[in-house]
Amino acid sequence: MTLILGIESSCDETGAAVVADGRTIVSNVVASQVDIHRRYGGVFPEVASRQHVLSILPVVRQALDEAGLAWRDGGPEAGLQAGLQAGPEDGLEAVAVTYGPGLAGSLLVGLNAAKGLALGRGLPLVGINHIEAHIYANWLVDAPPPELPAVCLVVSGGHTELILMTGHGQYRRLGGTLDDAAGEAFDKVGRLLGLSYPGGPAIQEAARAGSPTAFKLPRAWLPGSHDFSFSGLKTAVLRIVQKYRPEAEGRPTKPRAVNSQTPPVMRVLPVANLAASFQAAVVDVLVEKTCQAAQDFEARGVLLAGGVAANELLRNEMTRRCPLPVRYPPPHLCTDNAAIIASAGYYRFVAGERAGWDLDIVPGLKLTAQT
């Protein structure tokens, strides 16, 4: 059995996890900052990195404790000695860490913690692309491993990527968003509708009481490409919101005459109908273009990944409309966590990959065959 410690800090979740043989979660600890960032309506990078600094060691310690693996204290020298003596035989074989893409300050915290731990314990370090890790959530479920080649739709707050995966570590990027990421569009529209952050789960909830056909919203099909665009859809929602609330972000309020006797018209924003229509438009495009790509590239299945893959309509519609097998992880493995880092780390570790101590963060890292 090969145990890998995974560490994740690319955005606003501090995570550490121990995974066996790339597929079995032994421990998976996530310290979410979502309550802290809610007051800003989005992730505040400086606050995020400071919070990672506070959380990283307790989170790693808890993940090791829950896995029954010891944490060795005693300062750098004792740590180095103990680590060199006792590295692999206590079970851990490597430390895998996200080095990109993500927020620079946040990535630095996890990467440096991972380097310290690996050096102190005499373990190898494996650098992981966060987008690749999201895909590996599909290997962390109790089912036969997904069949390859697969078309992977990675949709989160920071990414919308369509990727052809032909083998472990073998990727071809087919397309991605030209503007907002799908999750970012959910978060921005959630804010426009006055819903709480993050917008994705809030829109899904609000949409339950609404009609997906109440508003005719645009879909950017971008024919002939595997790219996506969500900014036009977001602007269309903004225009509708402004009809109800002229002061909504994006348009200055027209000053009313000082002596005007007519009170402003206050109409109730149809939040549920707008949420349902917006969600349906996003899902429609994601499903159609992913299925098309899967057929174009003769994939054996479709894999969903990333925070937006927790969306019930996306899961259901992809399964209903795509003629190929569709797999998606449970919601808690769709959003950021370190088990997915450890899983991706396992497959890179057994392929012989090792990072040097000079491994640096790459905030704009892309997923390519060379990753």
Give the footprint of ligand KG4 on this chain (CB under 6 A). 11, 156-158, 183, 186-187, 198-201, 204, 306-308, 310-311, 335-336
Q: Minimum CB separation from Zn ion for residue 140, in Å?
A: 15
Point out which residues bind Zn ion (CB under 5 A): 156, 336
Alpha carbon distance 77, 155 (integer Å): 43
Q: Minimum CB separation from ligand KG4 for residue 278, in Å?
A: 10
CB 145 within 8 A of CB 324: no
From the list ligand KG4, Zn ion, none, which binds 25 (C-beta under 5 to 8 Å, kind-based)? none
Please say which residue, 11 or 318, places its beta carbon nearer to ligand KG4: 11
Q: Minimum CB separation from Zn ion for residue 334, in Å?
A: 9
Q: Minimum CB separation from ligand KG4 for residue 291, in Å?
A: 19
CA 206 to chain CA centroid, Å, is 22
CB 17 within 8 A of CB 65: no
Q: Minimum CB separation from ligand KG4 for residue 158, in Å?
A: 4
Alpha carbon distance 280, 28 (integer Å): 33
From the list Zn ion, ligand KG4, none, which binds 83 (C-beta under 5 to 8 Å, kind-based)? none
**Could you tell me which of 271, 127, 251, 288 has the C-alpha nearest to residue 193?**
271
Q: Minimum CB separation from ligand KG4 for residue 198, in Å?
A: 4
Where in 227-320 does DSSP place strands (E)?
A: 301-305
From the list Zn ion, ligand KG4, none, which binds 28 (C-beta under 5 to 8 Å, kind-based)? none
Alpha carbon distance 311, 317 (integer Å): 10
The residues with which 100 forms a beta bridge, in sequence order, are: 129
Residues contacting residue 185 through CB under 8 Å, at least 6 positions apart: 230, 231, 233, 234, 282
Please say which residue, 106 or 149, places its beta carbon nearer to ligand KG4: 106
Alpha carbon distance 38, 44 (integer Å): 10
Please say which residue, 156 or 160, places its beta carbon nearer to Zn ion: 156
Where in the chain does DSSP place strands (E)?
A: 3-8, 13-20, 24-32, 92-100, 125-129, 150-155, 160-167, 170-176, 301-305, 326-327
From the list Zn ion, ligand KG4, none, which binds 120 (C-beta under 5 to 8 Å, kind-based)? none
Alpha carbon distance 203, 346 (integer Å): 35
Q: Minimum CB separation from ligand KG4 for residue 340, in Å?
A: 9
Please say which residue, 92 or 309, places its beta carbon nearer to ligand KG4: 309
Please say which residue, 87 or 183, places its beta carbon nearer to ligand KG4: 183
From the list Zn ion, ligand KG4, none, which binds 198 (C-beta under 5 to 8 Å, kind-based)? ligand KG4
From the list Zn ion, ligand KG4, none, which binds 187 (C-beta under 5 to 8 Å, kind-based)? ligand KG4
Please say which residue, 156 or 177, places its beta carbon nearer to ligand KG4: 156
Please say which residue, 146 or 157, places its beta carbon nearer to ligand KG4: 157
CB 172 within 8 A of CB 225: no
